[in-house]
Amino acid sequence: MAARFFDPDGERFGLPTFPFRMAPDGYATRRQLRADGLRPGGQSAALQIMWYSNRRRKPGSPPTMRVAYLYRRDLAKPVRPMTPAKWAALAKANAARRVCPECRTDAGYCIPTSLGMCVPCAYPEEQRAA
């Protein structure tokens, strides 16, 4: 099944394609670049990896085809540093996630999106019993 995705010239898929875990050295996904403190830096994907996956499929349905795009490491650029304005905006956004919209107090933790409010406001009867 792995030979199905072996297309180093890009004739079938339009981009050089390799099976899972068979890509040549010197290429990385966006996530791998980011872990090394790099970014693609405007370059388009140099090649792709294709494989069949059984994740997120309904029982009885066929496996889905997955694709990961790889970028050249030698053309990658360093990640841009955060500016003071970005740090301030991020701190303000995180602080807003801690404020309960019901009681308007700082909960001391990020409000769960599943509840939409702090735990004491979501379950008041359990707080009185304790």
pLDDT single digits (tens) 12-51: 888 999 999 899 999 999 999 999 999 999 999 999 999 9
Residues 41 and 67 in one domain: yes
* 66 and 100 together in one domain: no
- Contact residues for 120 (Cβ-Cβ < 8 A; gap 6+): 103, 127
47 and 106 together in one domain: no
Cα 91 to Cα 64: distance, rounded to the nearest angstrom: 39
> Structural domain of residue 13, as residue ranges?
2-78
Residues 99 and 116 in one domain: yes
Q: 2-6, 10-14, 31-35, 71-75: which range is least confident on average?
A: 2-6
> The whole model's pTM is what?
0.69
User: What's the total number of domains in the chain?
Assistant: 2
Over residues 97-118, mean pLDDT: 93
Phi, psi of 42 (to 5 degrees): 90, -10
Q: What is the DSSP string of 54-96?
A: -TT--TTSPPEEEEEEEEESTT-EEPPPPPHHHHHHHHHHHHH
> What is the distance in angstroms between the CA of the first residue and the CA of the last residue of the chain?
59
Examine the domain organization and report whether 12 and 74 are in the same domain: yes
CA–CA gap between residue 71 and residue 49 (Å, rounded): 11
Number of Cβ atoms within 10 Å of the Cβ of 76: 20
